[in-house]
């Protein structure tokens, strides 16, 4: 498995009686953009912390470039970079001082630094804020600075915990541009997100729910794998419509999508049937259309099939 | 394994943060001087100008001589004259005076007759310390007065007399005791408080999580954080002693290098202790409070700074053996006042080294680059 940058096997973490992550196993190829998707509390942060070597697993292991993060985390650390969900840099240091500090910690050769800084500034547009305290940057700028500090030592594996959480759309786009550029250069990226539209940009996605992987594949295959008929129903009172359909025979899941309801029907169920049911229930739909499954639909279906109740649907 | 570059990076980062935090800057640079001035002027065991009321029922020449002897000593000042002993009680009770000197009507007669003549000194024992000192001053004054009377008109020396000379602090200035002790007390507090924030703050703010994911060695973090505070501590000690010399005329008789070495060790120990607290608590508030209580009270009460250790109950004497300031105080007093060095103070010097090792050891043993909870 020479092209595996990360091999996770049986990784578990308990906090007392609570199982935060249960028996995780997957491989991430070199240069792959790998997404861990799931709602809050699914175990994304715990997983990334273990991969970053800052949280010892209860059992199982992960090999990063062949080095065990459970047994030799310090040997794995020079090869990885980890960006925590919460801003982990120093508010009372300037942009430049933070970058210099991380360059020192990773022992980036002095001679290489000007070129690397220039490149990072080019990516992030942080150059003009070089002397500004990190605490005075906007949320998006902070994330770009975090990412820059992670990239200063050219890591093999980049671990990002919800890197775009709370970031404005423009900065989100900038961040994704940087990530795609990194992947193009052969960096392996493992990122967590609760935004399904971001998950769709990943090469492969692991869908995490209550500490376990529900499914793992490319977004396209995950979407194609959704059998049955998916309908988008527009209706004045979506909550009432969902209530009327949920639990009926042939309805695999019914979930709110903004002001519409996505209903997944078992294969063979008459697609006209939901409209009739809704009319009878006093919530007539304004339109019913078949739609292609999004990752969110897939996730909701998987959760429904795993026997758990989706926690009010995932983020749009 | 350890990299100087990384250690230096941590030290530099810590210094930059310190410089931009007014609270830390005040703690590091203003507190020691403020404490010195406060304690230097407030704490004094010297008793002067004891206020006396006088009831002189004799009023002969000799009684006036005795009063003069009291006044002239500089320790007593007669602020009131009372016609009789009737009001004595009220004067003392209302604390107008600290003592009342009563010379009975028979004073001159008894003296002339060669009988022992008694005078009475009533002292307010509410402040036992002052009363004790006043009593010993009075004893000395009366003894000298008696000797003069006995010797008057005779060519004879006292057959034997003890001549007491106080070394190292000839005028028994308590400031000379206070200032060197203060250096130890102040540095115990400041050092532990300074570092008590440093690790807890990183856990609280979330910066430790990212720092922990880098290859920085945990000892590089500990030592790197130590460096700026150590320099500040040494600077503080120098300034505090300098100010003590300038403002309170405290002498510096010994070897600055020995004091410097002992101070370095003491600071490493105290700073390490602060980091240990910081790494254990992981909360800035808890850590500062613990550092404050854990260092201030022992350093103040069990170091021999205010209370003589030899006269404490056994249990406290044993506890005091664990108070590093106790040994450091002996060093500062020894070097400043007595001018003694390692040949005399080697035990204390050694304890400083042990303290440094324990402080650093505790910090290194408790700080891990791992999220616990």
pLDDT average, residue stretch B149-178: 64
Cβ-contact A64, A6 below 8 angstroms = yes
Query: Chain A contact for B1, CB < 8 A?
Result: no
pLDDT average, residue stretch B185-192: 88
Among residues A182, A217, A252, which one ends one of the domains?
A217
| Structure confidence at residue A312 (pLDDT) | 44
Q: Is A206 exposed, middle or buried (0-12, 13-18, 19+ CB in 10 A)?
A: buried
What pLDDT digit, counting tens, does each position of A80-90 carry?
999 999 999 99
Indicate if the pLDDT at residue B343 is higher than 70: yes
* A72-76, A224-228, B315-319, B367-371, range with the lowest pLDDT: A224-228
- A229 and A175 part of one domain: no
- A231 and A139 part of one domain: no
- A151 and A275 part of one domain: no
Q: Is the ipTM of this complex over 0.95?
A: no
What pLDDT digit, counting tens, does each position of A91-113 carry?
999 999 999 999 999 999 999 99
Indicate if the pLDDT at residue A314 is higher than 50: no
Query: Chain A contact for B209, CB < 8 A?
Result: yes
Which has more confidence, B173 or B50? B50
| Structure confidence at residue B47 (pLDDT) | 73
Domain count, chain A: 2
Query: Chain A contact for B215, CB < 8 A?
Result: yes
What is the domain extent for residue A261? 223-305
Question: For a pLDDT cut of 70, what percent of chain B falls above it?
Answer: 92
Cβ-contact A213, A26 below 8 angstroms = yes
- CATH number, domain containing residue A119: 3.40.50.300
| Structure confidence at residue B91 (pLDDT) | 80
Question: For a pLDDT cut of 90, what percent of chain A falls above it?
Answer: 73
Among A56, A88, A105, select the one facing B370 at the smallest CB separation: A56
Is the sign of the CA dihedral B297, B299, B300, B303 positive or negative? positive
| Structure confidence at residue B118 (pLDDT) | 82
- Provide residues of A within 8 Å CB-CB of chain B: 15, 49, 52-56, 74, 77-78, 80-84, 86-93, 97, 100-102, 104-107, 133, 146, 149, 159
* A130-134, B41-45, B246-250, B296-300, range with the lowest pLDDT: B41-45
**Residue A229 dihedral angles phi and psi, to the nearest 5°:** -115, 130
- A48 and A144 part of one domain: yes
Which has more confidence, B305 or A203? A203
List of chain B residues whose C-beta atoms are within 8 Å of the C-beta of residue A93:
13, 16-17
* Bridge pairing between strands A157-161 and A80-83: parallel
| Structure confidence at residue B145 (pLDDT) | 83
Query: Which secondary structure element, helix H or strand E, spans residue A191, and what is its range?
Result: strand A188-193
- pLDDT band of residue A158 (cuts 50, 70, 90) is very high
- A15 and A62 part of one domain: yes
Mutate to test the interface with B, among A53, A54, A56, A94 (most CBs of B within 10 A): A54
Strand order in A285-290's β-sheet?
Answer: A251-257, A260-265, A229-235, A285-290
Indicate if the pLDDT at residue A311 is higher than 50: no
DSSP characters over B166-207: --SSTT--HHHHHHHHHHHHHHHHHHHHHHHHHHHHHHHHTH
Indicate if the pLDDT at residue B214 is higher than 50: yes
- pLDDT band of residue B161 (cuts 50, 70, 90) is low
| Structure confidence at residue A310 (pLDDT) | 46
pLDDT average, residue stretch A200-225: 93
Domains by residue range for chain B, with CATH: 4-44+173-366 (no CATH), 50-151 (3.40.1710.10)
Q: For residue A315, tell me if it sits in a domain.
A: no
Are residues A97 and B211, on separate chains, in Cβ contact within 8 Å?
no
Indicate if the pLDDT at residue B226 is higher than 50: yes
pLDDT average, residue stretch B12-38: 92
| Structure confidence at residue A315 (pLDDT) | 41
């Amino acid at each position: 498995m020479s092209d595996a940058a990360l091999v996770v096997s049986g990784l578990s973490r308990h906090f007392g009686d609570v199982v935060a992550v249960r028996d995780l196993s997957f491989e991430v190829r070199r240069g792959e953009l790998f997404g861990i998707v799931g709602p809050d509390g699914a175990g994304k942060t715990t997983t990334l912390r273990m991969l970053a070597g800052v949280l010892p697993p209860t059992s199982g292991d992960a090999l990063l470039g062949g080095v065990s993060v459970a047994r030799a985390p310090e040997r794995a650390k020079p090869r990885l970079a980890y960006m925590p969900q919460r801003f982990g840099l120093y508010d009372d240091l300037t942009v430049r001082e933070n970058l210099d500090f991380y360059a020192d910690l990773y022992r980036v050769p002095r001679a290489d630094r000007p070129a690397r800084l220039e490149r990072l500034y080019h990516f992030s547009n942080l150059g003009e804020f070089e002397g500004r305290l990190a605490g005075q940057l906007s949320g998006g700028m902070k994330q770009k600075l975090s990412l820059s500090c992670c990239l200063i030592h050219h890591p093999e594996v980049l671990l990002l915990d919800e890197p775009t959480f709370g970031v404005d759309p423009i900065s989100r786009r900038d961040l994704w541009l940087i990530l795609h550029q990194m992947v193009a250069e052969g960096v392996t990226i493992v990122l967590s997100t609760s935004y399904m539209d971001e998950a769709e940009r990943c090469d492969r996605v692991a869908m995490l729910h209550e500490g376990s992987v529900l499914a793992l594949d490319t977004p396209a295959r995950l979407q194609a794998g959704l059998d049955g008929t998916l309908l988008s129903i527009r209706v004045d009172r979506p909550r009432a419509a969902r209530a009327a359909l949920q639990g009926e025979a042939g309805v695999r899941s019914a979930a709110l999508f903004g002001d519409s309801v996505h209903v997944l029907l078992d294969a063979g169920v008459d697609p006209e049937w939901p409209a009739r049911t809704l009319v009878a229930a006093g919530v007539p739909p304004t339109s019913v259309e078949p739609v292609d499954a999004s990752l969110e639909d897939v996730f909701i279906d998987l959760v429904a099939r795993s026997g758990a109740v989706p926690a009010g649907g995932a983020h749009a | 394994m350890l990299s100087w570059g990384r250690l230096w990076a941590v030290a530099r980062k810590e210094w930059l943060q310190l410089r931009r935090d007014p609270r830390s800057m005040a703690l590091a640079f203003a507190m020691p001087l403020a404490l010195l001035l406060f304690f230097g002027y407030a704490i004094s065991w010297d008793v002067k100008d004891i206020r006396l009321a006088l009831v002189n029922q004799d009023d002969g020449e000799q009684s006036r001589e005795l009063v003069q002897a009291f006044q002239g000593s500089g320790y007593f000042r007669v602020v009131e004259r009372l016609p009789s002993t009737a009001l004595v009680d009220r004067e003392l009770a209302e604390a107008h005076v600290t003592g009342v000197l009563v010379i009975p009507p028979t004073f001159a007669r008894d003296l002339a007759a060669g009988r022992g003549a008694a005078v009475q000194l009533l002292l307010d024992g509410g402040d036992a310390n002052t009363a004790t000192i006043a009593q010993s001053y009075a004893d000395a004054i009366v003894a000298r007065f008696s000797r003069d009377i006995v010797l008057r008109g005779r060519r004879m020396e006292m057959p034997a007399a003890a001549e007491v000379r106080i070394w190292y602090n000839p005028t028994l200035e308590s400031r000379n005791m206070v200032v060197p002790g203060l250096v130890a007390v102040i540095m115990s507090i400041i050092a532990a408080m300074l570092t008590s924030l440093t690790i807890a703050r990183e856990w609280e703010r979330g910066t430790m999580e990212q720092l922990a994911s880098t290859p920085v060695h945990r000892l590089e973090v500990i030592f790197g954080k130590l460096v700026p505070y150590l320099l500040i501590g040494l600077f503080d000690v120098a300034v505090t002693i300098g100010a003590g010399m300038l403002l309170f005329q405290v002498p510096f008789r010994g070897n600055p290098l020995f004091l410097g070495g002992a101070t370095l060790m003491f600071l490493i120990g105290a700073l390490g202790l602060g980091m240990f607290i910081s790494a254990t608590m992981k909360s800035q508030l808890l850590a500062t409070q613990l550092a404050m209580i854990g260092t201030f009270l022992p350093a103040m009460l069990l170091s021999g700074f205010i209370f003589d250790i030899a006269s404490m109950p056994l249990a406290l004497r044993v506890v005091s053996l664990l108070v590093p300031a106790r040994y450091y105080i002996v060093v500062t007093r020894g070097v400043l006042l007595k001018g003694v060095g390692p040949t005399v103070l080697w035990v204390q010097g050694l304890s400083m080294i042990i303290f440094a090792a324990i402080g650093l050891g505790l910090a290194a043993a408790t700080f891990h680059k791992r999220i616990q909870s």
